[in-house]
Amino acid sequence: MKKSLLAFVALASITGAASAQSSVTIYGVVDMGLKVENAGSGTRLSLDSGNQSGSRIGFRGTEDLGGGLKANFVLEAGFSADTGAMGATNQLFNRQSYVSLSGAFGEVKMGRIQTVVYSNASVFDPFGDTLAGDSARIFNYGGSRTDNTVNYSYSAANGVNGQVAYSFGEVAGDNSANRTMAGAIGYAAGPLAVVLTHQNTKNATGSDAAKTTLLGGNYNFGLLQPFVAYAINKGVGTLDTRDALIGLNINVTPNDVIMTSLMHKYDKFADHRDATQIALGYTHNLSKRTNLYTSWSRLSNNYSVAYKADRNGSADNLFNVGIRHKF
């Protein structure tokens, strides 16, 4: 009996030590709101999922390998909370799916990973790539995530940070076709955050590439937090545009933020292909995990282009109000 008890205590201590060195967390977001939009063909009223953050469920794990080295993974699946449908057809973990090693050297990820522009959206966009003021409605992000990617990132104690990424095109006989190369260098310490990013994505034949270079940042004075960004987009035939943003967050209280932005797209290749958006938003935190939001934007198109609108020359008017809960 005594031997059995001692064996049980020893086993329990070993199990406890192992669990202390590794962990798996289930997390997620449920975001639901009322959306009213008129893009030139009549007003559409809907109940939409993911206005501020894409509704999702995720699994995050880490294992301490010793010597400061850790193995990590993230598996994240998006879904539509209004219908319960998967976020993407035939793709379970459509948001992120990667394994990584991290330590004093930084972190190396492999899998489906956020693009360098998208991962830095909160640095230069007062809306943080969300709600009606989403900068991706004007700016060229080159997508929000890329498959078959190796990403290395590093953050220094002095605030300097950076990352480089390579996404394999996986085209037989042509290693440059469909491949993406990207990088970013930034600084975030105290009230200042700034980032410079570049992304180069080859087309299906490897004969041309879409290239985006973006510089942006913000400075938090406390009550007022101005944002600015400028991007140059070139390649893939006739692509030659410039994107600009100025914005301001008014941090009324720790739980209340008013967001504003003005964006403009200028096409250097052809006339009458510009677009401008003005946006206003507000969020109120009910707790650390739950907040209310509302936002409005008006995106005006020139008559030879259609950005987020049903027909050329029409304006896209968007309004939403809703609730977001994180778990």
Neighbouring C-beta atoms of residue 176, cutoff 10 Å = 14
Q: What are phi and psi of 135, to 5 degrees?
A: -65, -20
Q: Are 40 and 299 in contact (CB under 8 A)?
A: no
Question: What's the pLDDT at 212?
Answer: 96
- Domains of the chain, start order: 23-326 (2.40.160.10)
Residues 140-158 pLDDT 10s? 888 899 999 999 999 999 9
Read off the pLDDT band of 310 (50, 70, 90): low
For position 302, what pLDDT does the model report?
81
Least confident range of 16-30, 87-101, 138-152: 16-30
Checking phi first, is residue 36 left (phi over 0); if not, alpha (psi -120 to 50) or beta? beta
AA letter at 284: H
As a whole number of angstroms, the distance between CA 66 and CA 20 comes to 12
Nearest Cα neighbor of 63 from 120, 36, 101, 89 is 101
Residue range 49-75, pLDDT digits in tens: 999 999 999 999 999 999 999 999 999
Q: Residue 304 phi/psi, 5° resolution?
A: -110, 15
- How confident is the prediction for the chain on average, in pLDDT? 91
More confident of the two residues 205 and 9: 205
What's the pLDDT band for 163 if we cut at 50, 70, 90? very high
pLDDT of 257-295, one tens digit each? Answer: 999 999 999 999 888 889 999 999 999 999 999 999 999
pLDDT of residue 273: 86
**pLDDT given at position 96:** 97
Per-residue pLDDT, 40: 79
Give the residue among 274, 250, 252 at the shortest CA–CA distance from 263. 274
Q: How far apart are CA 162 and CA 186, in angstroms?
A: 6
The answer to whether the CB of 281 falls within 8 A of the CB of 293 is: yes
- Residue range 167-202, pLDDT digits in tens: 999 999 999 999 999 999 999 999 999 999 999 999
Residue 214 to residue 204: CA distance in whole angstroms: 24
**Which DSSP string corresponds to 262-322?**
EEEEEESSSTT--EEEEEEEEEEESSSSEEEEEEEEEEEE-TT--SSSSSTT-EEEEEEEE
Task: State the CB neighbour count (10 A cutoff) for residue 17.
Answer: 9
Residue 18 pLDDT exceeds 50: no
Question: What percent of the chain is modeled with pLDDT above 90?
Answer: 83
**Nearest Cα residue to 191 out of 224, 163, 216:** 224
Secondary-structure percent of the chain, ordered helix, strand, coil, rounded to 5: 10, 60, 35
Give the pLDDT band of residue 93 (cuts 50, 70, 90): very high
Q: Which amino acid makes up residue 235?
A: G
Is the separation of the CB atoms in 317 and 298 below 8 Å?
yes
The answer on pLDDT for 312 being more than 80 is no
Q: Return the percentage of the chain with pLDDT > 70, whole number.
A: 92
Q: In whole angstroms, what is the distance from residue 231 CA to residue 210 CA?
A: 13
Distant-in-sequence, close-in-space partners of 237: CB < 8 Å, separation ≥ 6: 208
CB-CB contact of 74 with 52 (8 Å): no
Cα separation, 179 vs 169, in Å, equals 4
CA–CA distance, 265 with 245 (Å, rounded to integer): 9
Q: Could you identify the residue written with the tokens 């913000």?
A: 218
Model confidence at 15: pLDDT above 60: no
Q: Is the pLDDT assigned to residue 7 strictly greater than 50?
A: no
Pairing of strands 69-78, 145-155: unpaired
8-22, 173-187, 216-230, 301-315: lowest mean pLDDT where? 8-22
Q: How confident is the model at residue 33 (pLDDT cuts 50, 70, 90)?
A: very high
DSSP category for residue 54? -
Please, which residues bridge with residue 220 across strands?
none
Is residue 214 a contact partner of residue 231, using CB atoms and an 8 Å limit?
yes
